[in-house]
Amino acid sequence: MKRRNVLAGLSAGVLAGCSKIGATKPMQKLFGAADGWHREMQRTLGGPEALAREFSPADISPFFRGNGTLDPGTASYAAHEASGFADWQLGVTGLVARPLALSLAQVRALPQRTQITRHDCVEGWSAIGQWTGPQLKTILDLAGLRPEARYIVFRCADNLGDGDYYESIDLVDAYHPQTIVAHQLNGAPLPIKNGAPLRMRIERQLGYKHAKFVTGIDAVASLQGIAGGKGGYWEDRGYQWYAGI
C-alpha cells in the first residue's frame, strides 16, 4: 500500500514484522535503561516524551556555523562528495532482526519530520536551524530492534587523528519524536561542514551528541568495548555521556 510505495527498494519481508518487534520490546526496556542523576532529573521534570522547543522560520539563524570536523578529508569521503553521495550507505547493524543498508534515496523516501530547533555547543555558541529527515524510530522499527538492545551507537566517517568520531544514546532518546537522521538543513541538502550527507539531531542534548557524517547505526547491549567505552569520542575524553540541555 502507501507504505510499500514509500519504502520501495526495501523488501516486503523487511516491512512485515516491523511494528511488532520494533514498537513493543524496546519500549518495555526504556525505563530499565535509565540511570544517572542528570538523566533522571530531566526526565522527571519534562517526561520522556517532552519536546525540545521548536522555533518559527523567522527565527532561523542566517548562518549555521560548522564545528568540529568540517570535512572528513579522506579519499573515500572525497569520492562520495564528487558523486553527490549517490553511493552513500547507512548501515543498520548489531542487535537487530534485519540488518539494513539504506541508500540516501531510501532514507529520503521514508516518512519525514521537519523541525526548527536551537543547537547549543559546549564551546559557547548556539544557532537555530531547520532540519529534515526520518525519525530514528522509523529506521529502528524497519530493522526490528532486538530486546537485548539498550543503546544506539552512531558511526561517523571522520577520524580525528586519535580516534573515529562516534556517539551513542539510550532508547528513550532513540525513540524520541525529535530524534531524526537529518539530510537537509534549512530546506537544502546538508552542507559538508554540517555533516553531509546524514547527521543526527538529538534535540534535548548538547551539540557533541549530534553525530555528523553518519555511516552506521549500531544497536548494542553495552557501550563497554567500543573505543574508550564511554559512549562517544568526547565522552572518552571526559565529557558527560548524558548531555541534557
Ligand X SMILES: Nc1nc2c(c(=O)[nH]1)N[C@H]1C(S)=C(S)[C@@H](COP(=O)(O)O)O[C@H]1N2
Positions that interact with ligand X (CB under 6 A): 65-69, 121, 156, 158, 165, 193-195, 207-208, 210-213
As given in the structure block, the three cell numbers for residue 86 are 549517490
Identify which of residues 67 and 186 has a Cβ nearer to ligand X in the complex: 67
User: Which range of residues in 88-96, 109-117, 118-126, 153-161 is near Mo ion by CB under 5 A?
Assistant: 118-126
Residue 29 or 61 having the CB closest to ligand X: 61
Shortest Å, Cβ 84 to ligand X: 20
Note whether 121 binds Mo ion by CB under 5 A. Answer: yes
| Residue 208 within binding range of Mo ion, rule CB under 5 A | yes
**Range in contact with Mo ion (rule: CB under 5 A) among 90-98, 113-121, 168-176, 234-242:** 113-121
DSSP line for the chain:
-HHHHHTTTS-HHHHHTHHHHHHHHHHHHTTTT--SHHHHHHHHHH-TTPPPP---GGG--S-----S-S----HHHHHHHHTTTTT-EEEEEESBSS-EEEEHHHHHHS--EEEEEEEEETTTEEEEEEEEE-BHHHHHHHHTB-TT--EEEEEEEEE-SSSEEEEEEEHHHHTSTT-EEE-EETTEEPPGGGTTT-EEE-TTB-GGGS--SEEEEEEES-STTSTTSSSSTTGGGT--S--B-
* Partner from Mo ion, ligand X, none binding residue 144, C-beta < 5-8 Å depending on class: none
Q: Which residue's CB is nearer to ligand X, number 68 or number 134?
A: 68
Q: Which does 99 bind (CB under 5 to 8 A by kind): Mo ion, ligand X, none?
A: none
Distance separating alpha carbons of residues 107 and 214, to the nearest angstrom: 12
Query: Smallest distance from the beta carbon of 212 to ligand X, in angstroms?
Result: 4
Nearer to Mo ion, 134 or 207 (CB): 207
For ligand X, the closer CB: 94 or 195: 195
Task: Tell me the residue nearest to ligand X as measured from the CB.
Answer: 68
Residue 85 or 131 having the CB closest to Mo ion: 131
Contacts with Mo ion, residue ranges (CB under 5 A)? 121, 207-208
